[in-house]
Amino acid sequence: MTGLQLEHVSKFYEEGGHKIAALQDVSLSVEQGEFVAVIGPSGSGKSTFLSIAGALLQASAGTVSLNGKDLSGLNAKELANVRLKDIGFILQTSNLVPYLTVLDQLLVVKKMAGKITKEDKAFAKSLLTDLGLGSKMSKFPNELSGGERQRTAIARAFMNQPNIILADEPTASLDSKRGHEVVQLIAKEVKSRKKAAIMVTHDERMLQYCDKVYRMEDGQLSLVSI
């Protein structure tokens, strides 16, 4: 089975002797080529959900599998490897390294996973060109607009050709036009390269680009629309 599957996932936090259920019996399957949105109020469990789906946090109960591989049996090093190789994260702010050029922001990902080949460089350049950054490759983050920075972060998320894309409010720091552009680009990559993608968003206007919309409320996930 490819893609990402969560089955009966719960997450409990202990706080001051109280047990908080941040996620309660959440099940979800995202196939390759599918773009799913998760909406819901603040405090409903969206970040916890994305952290568990992204192998950053272990579930208290239930199973998470990625391309058929159960994550619960993996140790910290193996989980770090899954995050590096199989998952591309796109966060609210672009989190670029200030002293690296646009091209190097992508190549440094390869460096972490091994060493940089000629093919890696060519792939980085083609990704940046696809994302409209062909003329910005030697610029530094402070020379880019907010939208360009976020597109660089998207290119970086795709650099290791991960199967799974997890986006946490990717439009939060962008104006409406740039926001649409960024989510359209994610949708295009999901379709053309057959990624499984989940986007947490507050922005209802972005739901038109998604195949399914789920709502998180009090730690429970329900399907809103297909």
22 binds ligand ADP (CB under 6 A): yes
198 binds ligand ADP (CB under 6 A): no
Residue type, 134: G
- Of 4, 28, 35, 48, the one binding ligand ADP (CB under 6 A) is 48
Closest CA to 39 of 177, 210, 157: 210
Q: What strand order describes the sheet that includes 61-66?
A: 18-30, 4-15, 61-66, 69-70
Smallest separation, CB 84 to ligand ADP (Å) = 23
Residues in the interface with ligand ADP (CB under 6 A) total 12
In this chain, which stretch among 46-54, 82-90, 185-193, 206-214 interacts with ligand ADP, using CB under 6 A?
46-54
- Of 13, 85, 111, 143, the one binding ligand ADP (CB under 6 A) is 13
DSSP state of 218: T
Closest CA to 85 of 62, 65, 66: 66
20 binds ligand ADP (CB under 6 A): yes
46 binds ligand ADP (CB under 6 A): yes
Distance CA 97, CA 153 (A): 10
95 binds ligand ADP (CB under 6 A): no
Closest CA to 216 of 63, 55, 8, 41: 41
Smallest separation, CB 135 to ligand ADP (Å) = 37
61 binds ligand ADP (CB under 6 A): no
What is the helix, strand, coil percentage profile of the chain, to 5? 40, 30, 35
Binding footprint of ligand ADP on the chain (CB under 6 A): 13, 15, 20, 22, 40, 42-48
